[in-house]
Amino acid sequence: MMNTRLDMISNISQEVRTPLNAIIGFSEQLSYTTLDCNQRELLASVENAAGMLMQIQQNIHELGWLQKGQLYLDTYPFSPYIIFDTVTAQLSCRAHNKHLRFEVTCEGERQLEVTGDGERLSRILVCLIENAIRYTDTGSVHCHMQLKKQVSGHVQVNIQVRDTGRGISPDRLPFIFEQYMYNGTPVEGDLHGAGLGLALVRALVELQKGQISVESTPGKGSSFSCSLTYPGLPAPQTIVVTQQEVGQMTGQFMKDRYILVADDQEMNLALLEKILTRWQCRFDKAPDGVAAYELFVCNNYDMVLLDLQMPRMTGMEVVKRIREDKEPSKAQVPVLALTADTTMPGNQAFIDAGFDDYLLKPFREKEIYDVIIRHLRPVPVNVPR
């Protein structure tokens, strides 16, 4: 019964991913235009609602993968501190809107880089901090990260999120990480969520062989702690320019790049056109797989972005032909999959198909930017393009 219910919800959720991607994407692009105070307030409400819906969708499809044993971790270099700083900065507004003190501290070497699944670390942080803000009416929320470099070269990342909120009753505490724990008789004043967030957090922590715990006192607050360990990267491998780009979101790294974008949804092409124009890219658009491959044959692109489900030729078929090109430089061009299909289990499945990486819709501009710059080669200095 549980699997059937989750599959049904997941199928419905997948159908709304494309229009939700447009709502989130165009709202973000609208935020870069000149708006008066009232318009910005209304836009912030739209973005907040869309973000909440997107979070629910992500939780649903990842829990579905977990139940089927198909949720896998991606591996790439990332900075734990940058992820921590980004997430806390994004969520600070929610705390301030509730007139809560929002305290952020970090202990250890902030410049440390590791290899692992940075997106899953971000998801853990978002869920723990969002819950703390949601269930705290007065007082404060404190977010703390500790980075400890071990003798083995690994980096231990300890996270603690404390709040002065309502706390969790002793009878509920043992089941706080279970799915749908809120099902049952409503309690006056209770805030009910989808019942998926903390279950997913525990699953993601355990998938990375980490530990998570909670302490809580009703009426005084809660404290969630988790510990994860990642292989560390030597200091010389730190990509300073790339990290600066990720933090500042300037788009300068993308200026004058030549990109091919293929998607059969007009709204998705329009959104990517807005984003790439802001980044000062050159780009071509294709409404189907055949048009995309014909453009690829005739031009030399820095990167190709392919939707998976396209008429005449799918994204899978296009990337297969790209990898078979007789010219090595063209065959090795970075290719990213853009998809609303939540049945693909993870990064390895896309790599096996010939893609360098993928991005699941809906996505924000920074998310697609982060993925793109991980795979683009630096532009040679003083070499005409």
Q: What percent of the chain has pLDDT over 70?
A: 79
251, 373 Cβ separation under 8 angstroms: no
Q: Residue 253 gets which letter from DSSP? A: G
pLDDT in tens, 14-54: 677 778 878 888 888 888 888 888 888 888 888 777 777 77
pLDDT tens for each residue of 125-172: 998 999 999 899 999 999 999 999 988 889 999 999 999 999 988 888
> Given CA atoms 88, 104, 123, 52 in this order, what sign does their dihedral have?
negative
109 phi, psi to nearest 5 deg: -80, 110
Give CA separation, 212 vs 82, 139, 176, 197, 207, in Å. 21, 24, 12, 14, 12
| Overall average pLDDT of the 177-195 stretch | 49
Tell me, yes or no, if the pTM score tops 0.85. Answer: no
Q: What is the pLDDT of residues 247-284, one digit of tens each?
A: 444 457 788 899 999 998 888 888 889 889 988 899 99
Q: How far apart are CA 284 and CA 205, in angstroms?
A: 41
For 71, 88, 121, 215, 337, the CA distances from 126, given in Å and listed in that order, are: 19, 8, 9, 19, 25
Distance CA 21, CA 305 (A): 16
Q: How far apart are the first and last CA of the chain?
A: 58
Rg (CA), the chain: 22
User: In this structure, what token pair is assigned to residue 248?
Assistant: 């500042």
Write out pLDDT tens, residues 91-135. Answer: 998 899 899 999 999 999 998 999 999 988 998 999 899 999 989
